[in-house]
Homo-oligomer: A and B are copies of this chain.
Amino acid sequence: MSETIVEPRWRRIPEERPRQILEAALEVFAERGLAAARLEDIAKLAGLSKGTIYLYFATKEDLFREVIRTSVVAFIARAEAFFEAEPDPVHSLTAWMEGYWGWLRSPVFPAMHRLVNTELRSFPDLASFYTTEVIERAQRLVREMLERGMDAGQFRRMDPQVAARMLSSLFVTHAMWYHQRDCFKAIKDVGDDVLLAQIREFFFNAMRPEAPNAPNSRLK
């Protein structure tokens, strides 16, 4: 956990407060999840008292919602950029992977992931926000890139929906392993850029076109 920055107490710049609180909250939520995070810890990390948080956010859930929302919005914006950047599917997909991987490695993702895996049923509105605004949007993006690549013969033909799912699958798990690499020796010494490269190579290999004359003996 990073150190509190204690500034003089009467700063007269309350406009900064929400951002400071959100930053601290992200760190604590990322570390402990929603239920286990204590408001007092967030306050301490932001150099404030618990009561102050309630001047800016109505409830703990509200704070959490806002943390996630701001972070995800940032990601979506970045994603849209990649979409329009490159016409070549392989290049745009590579760029997408890099951006995605960057986001996954930020502390927002574990928080988000925990939410999705454990605390979704307590936040139905956030859940649907997440599925439509993040998952489906991202999946559609990837799917379209893959489809273009298939049309161009750069990828083998398969259900692009499924391929997109496989891609996310690889990234999501590896990101979680990355975030817990002190517990998983298997990942510990592998650099994060190496991990990305491994995923990329593996995925492109899975998508490489069938050689026209190769025997596909094994696959029933």
Residues of A within 8 A of B (CB): 32-33, 35-36, 90, 110, 113-114, 116-118, 120, 127, 131, 135-136, 139, 154, 156, 158-159, 161-163, 165-166, 168-170, 172-174, 176-177, 180, 183-187, 198-199, 201-208, 210-211, 213-214, 216, 218-219
Contacts and interface: CB of A to CB of B under 8 A. Distances in A.
- Give 4 nearest A-B pairs by CB, closest first: A211-B211, A206-B206, A211-B214, A169-B173
16 contacts: A35-B36, A110-B117, A127-B183, A136-B185, A139-B186, A154-B218, A162-B198, A166-B198, A168-B173, A169-B174, A172-B173, A203-B206, A204-B218, A208-B216, A208-B219, A211-B214
A219 B205 CA distance: 8
Query: How many copies of the shown chain assemble into the complex?
Result: 2
A137 to B, nearest CB: 12
Contact of A173 (B163, B173, B216, B218): B173
A174 B218 CA distance: 24
A131 B131 CA distance: 31
A118 B29 CA distance: 11
> In the complex, which of the residues A156, A187, A201 has the most CB atoms of chain B within 10 Å of its own CB atom?
A201
Contacts of A116: 180, 183
A136 B183 contact: no
Contact of A201 (B118, B172, B219): B219
A184 B152 CA distance: 30
A2 to B, nearest CB: 17
Contact of A183 (B131, B156, B173): B131
A117 B113 CA distance: 9
Given A35-B35, A172-B173, A211-B213, 16 more contacts: A113-B117, A117-B180, A120-B183, A127-B183, A131-B183, A161-B186, A162-B198, A162-B202, A165-B177, A165-B198, A168-B173, A201-B219, A204-B218, A211-B211, A211-B214, A213-B213
